[in-house]
Structure 1
Amino acid sequence: MSPEGLWSIGELAERAGVTVKTVRYYSDGGLLPAAGRSAGGHRRYGPEALERLRLIRSLRTLDLPVPEVARVLDDEDGAVLEGVVEGQLRELGARMAALRWREAALRLVRDCPPGERAERLRLVGAVRVPPSTDALARFWRRWLPPRLPARVVATVLEQTVPQPPEDPSPSQVLAFARLHAFVSAPCEAGDRAQPAAHRGHRPDVLYEGLDDAYALAAPRLRAGRAPRAGEALDCFVAAYARSGGSRDTPAFRRDLGRVLAADPRIDRYWRLAAEVFGPDRTTAGAAHDWLLAALHTDLEAA
């Protein structure tokens, strides 16, 4: 140490266990300012530089970019460090999820019969990594009536668009890839038919009521109960009645059963979505079918 209590760049490097090049790099970048200069113009550092250098190395060990390290060093109350760490955790989580998806996709291709590999490669290759649900959301936005309130659209998308699992099985990767292909395929003119419920009804009232009915039906479905009359069916019928300005009467139920039985169906979508959602989640499609079957059972009993 010099008479002024300062170290040369080599002395600081030796004490920190790093190379002179490393100290010079951080010093040139403004992360490690010198405390002064020698008579010959060489940089000199005080003991506080050693602690600062150790902190820089710790932050870099966590893979923080140099600009983020600079922000942390300039912060006095620690708030920046907390935010930077949270950001790194989110980024790392996304990268790990992508790796898990790739692993499951590779196992899917490896373990399938040779004759199916070409098709599975095509399906999986059409889904970007990490997977996006944008195509599924666009499918439902086209299906839903126009001018639907944003809150109702958000609720419908939450119920209908399965998020890719964080740790998917190969079968879930395949189901999601097939679902992506299903919603991305060109539609024929007949495929654009809208449910009769979109005509002559207030869609916002209808979909909010259906969401309640599906929630009531879900535990009955999971328990394996047969479709039958009850609170869930009453809520289901009331959603259609209120949205159309009608009352729940036997005649209305007969007409509703006839109209819903003729509505277009997307059974393939719901089968694939159920596999992606997993066994703990009841799809809106399954709940709708259970309630429709309960309506027909009620009509037959009447």
Structure 2
Amino acid sequence: MLTSYDGLCGIGELAERAGVTVKTVRFYSDRGLLPEDSRSAGGHRRYGPEALGRLRLIRSLRALGLSVPEVRRVLDEEDAAGEAEGGALEDAVAGRLRELGTEMRALRWREAALRLVQESAPEERADRLRVIGAVTVPPSTAPLVRFWRGWLPPRMPARSVRAFLEVAVPQPPDDPAPAQVLAFARLNALTLAPCPGTAQPQPAAHRAAGAQGSAVLYAGLAEAYELAGVHMRRGRQPRPGEALDGFVDAYTSAYGVRDSPEFRRRLAGQLAADPRLDHYWDLVAEVITAPGGRPEPTPGSAHDWLLAALFAQTEAPPLVAV
């Protein structure tokens, strides 16, 4: 309750009742968030009874991390509608939650990176500091996306590119273990390293299928990899069956040819000679697998499982990783 005869109070009394400094009240007044009711004969600010509640609302909004412009929008909406529960408040709170989520992911990443350095042997620290220092915080997948866009066939349909990137580019864990930080940092370094020659090596499957055929190929391969992943999670060895048939069908559909034993033998030889990205997929498995858990299948490991099944069926030479 205000003590002055006219129901108004000065800036000092308002600040004391709200538990803030006079400087804070003046700051919000000067920015139009806390209008003064009048000025005294000596030029001092005078505030009406509603000023205390408004100042407390401003403090609450600022304590939640809302910016001054966001607080202004909330107050303007309250003045117009008589409440502070409209779209401006919801939007501001949702935006702040997104920002906090990003900040928390960055903090968890830094914590895991610090633990990685702490747990490293002295002779490992310089190399590990170099690779983790090249990763933005929170980590970005942009270098990995650029790597694959350069690897995929030109003019491949955008929808097919997006579908491929969803499975080929691992998202950094929100709460990573130190080993996952190291794996992602090495993955980042791998995709940023210059390729031998003038361009990234293109598998023969790309050159044979073309842009449109590659879209068909990758869609079929994605289904085959998913089927192979079921077997891999159960610890089964490579074998003929639905997964292998789907794998071969992805290539026949892309090439516009029929499946046959001879086609499978030629395909096995072609795939054995294609450039490989084993190290990439090994690192992906480390990023997406929880510490102590069974390694999760990746497109690379599923591809190898299916190739082994194809080699066994066609008696082609065994796969040699490079």
Q: State the match for 1:236 in structure 2.
A: 247
Q: TM-score, normalised by structure 1?
A: 0.94
Q: Which residue matches 1:253?
A: 264
Match of 1:48 among 24, 27, 50: 50
Q: 1:115-154 maps to which residues of 2 (within 5 A)?
A: 115-154=123-162
| Distance in structure 1 (CA, Å) of the matches to 2:21 and 2:199 | 68
Say which SS state the counterpart of residue 199 (structure 1) adopts: helix
TM-aligned CA deviation for residue 190 of structure 1: 8.7
Residue number among 164, 175, 178 corresponding to 1:170 in the alignment: 178
Counterpart for residue 205 of structure 2:
197
- Structure 1 counterpart of 2:302, from 277, 287, 292: 287
- 1: CA distance between counterparts of 2:183 and 2:42? 70
Q: How far is the alpha carbon of 1:36 from its aligned partner?
A: 2.7
- Structure 2, unmatched stretches of 5+, are 79-84, 317-322
Compare 39-48 and 259-268 and name the one that shifted more.
Answer: 39-48
Task: Tell me how far 1:90 sits from its aligned partner.
Answer: 1.2
Q: How does 1:51-70 map to 2 (within 5 A)?
A: 51-70=53-72
The 1-side partners of 2:123 and 2:215 are apart by: 47
2:74 alignment partner in structure 1: 72
Matched, 1:155 2:163: yes
Instruction: Find the aligned partners of 1:126 and 1:44 in 2 and give their Cα distance.
Output: 56
Question: In structure 1, how many angstroms separate the alpha carbons of the residues matched to 2:199 and 2:39?
Answer: 78
- State the AA in 2 paired with 1:142: G
Matching residue's letter, 1:75: E
**Matching residue of 1:37:** 39
- Structure 2 residue matching 1:189: 3-state secondary structure: coil
> CA separation in 2, counterparts of 1:267 and 1:23?
63
Residue 31 of structure 1 aligns to which amino acid in structure 2? Answer: L
Question: Which residue does the alignment assign to 2:21?
Answer: 19
1:232 Cα deviation from its structure 2 partner? 1.3
**Residues 1:271 and 2:271 are matched in the alignment:** no
Q: 2:187 aligned to 179, 184, 209, which one?
A: 179
Q: Does 1:217 align with 2:224?
A: no
SS at 2:208 equivalent: coil
User: Which string of whole-angstrom CA distances, capped at 9 and with x for unpartnered residues, describes residues 29-60 of structure 1?
Assistant: 10001123334443222221111100001111
- Correspondence for 1:227: 238
Deviation of the 1:111 alpha carbon: 1.3
* Equivalent of 1:83 in 91, 95, 102: 91
Give SS of 1:129's match: coil
TM-score, normalised to structure 2, is 0.88
Q: Quote the offset at 1:200 in angstroms.
A: 2.2
Shift of 1:220: 1.2
Q: How far has the Cα of 1:189 moved from its partner?
A: 2.1
**Aligned equivalents of 2:86, 2:16: Cα separation in 1:** 29
Q: Percent identity?
A: 65
Question: Secondary structure at the residue paired with 1:44?
Answer: strand
**What code does the residue aligned with 2:69 have?**
P
Q: Is the 8 A contact 2:285 2:295 kept in 1?
A: no
Please state whether the residue corresponding to 1:166 is helix, strand or coil: coil
The more displaced of 169-178 and 191-200 is 191-200
Aligned-partner residue type, residue 247 of structure 1 = R
1:120-140 deviation line (CA, Å, top 9, x unaligned): 111111222221111111111
Query: 2:106·2:138 contact (CA, 8 Å) conserved in 1?
Result: yes
Match in the other structure for 2:30: 28
Paired residues in the alignment total: 301
In structure 2, distance between residues paired with 1:281 and 1:46:
65
2:217 pairs, out of 206, 226, 251, with 206
Which stretch of the first structure deviates more once superposed, 226-235 or 283-292? 226-235
- For the residue of structure 2 that corresponds to 1:31, the secondary structure is coil
Partner amino acid, structure 2, of 1:45:
Y
